[in-house]
């Protein structure tokens, strides 16, 4: 479950952009704390907008972020 800490929200809340930040920081092994915060924000926003996705698309996006 993602943590809800409003002071750690990323400034830019485009869901796909947040996912890419987390992905690139994990691959480059730099700024990992910011990457984890971005992925946390991604999951929170994804959960908030869950109704706008089909069930299989939602779970695929969520599982990719957790991986």
**What pLDDT, on the 0 to 100 scale, is given for residue 5?**
53
pLDDT in tens, 6-62: 555 545 556 788 888 888 888 888 887 888 888 888 888 888 888 888 988 888 888
Residue 17 lies in a domain: yes
Residue 20 belongs to some domain of the structure: yes
- Please, are residues 67 and 39 in contact by the beta-carbon 8 Å criterion? no
In this predicted structure, what is the pLDDT of residue 62? 84
pTM of this prediction?
A: 0.68
The answer to whether position 6 is within a domain reads: no
Domain that holds residue 45: 11-66
For the chain, how many structural domains are there in total?
1
pLDDT at 14: 62
Residue 2: inside a domain:
no
In a domain, 61, yes or no: yes
* Residue at 5 is within a domain: no
């Amino acid at each position: 479950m993602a943590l809800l800490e409003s002071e750690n929200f990323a400034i830019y809340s485009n869901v796909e952009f947040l996912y890419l930040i987390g992905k690139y920081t994990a691959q480059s092994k730099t700024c990992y704390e910011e990457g984890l915060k971005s992925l946390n924000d991604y999951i929170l926003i994804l959960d908030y907008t869950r109704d706008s996705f089909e069930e299989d698309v939602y779970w695929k996006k969520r599982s990719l972020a957790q991986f």
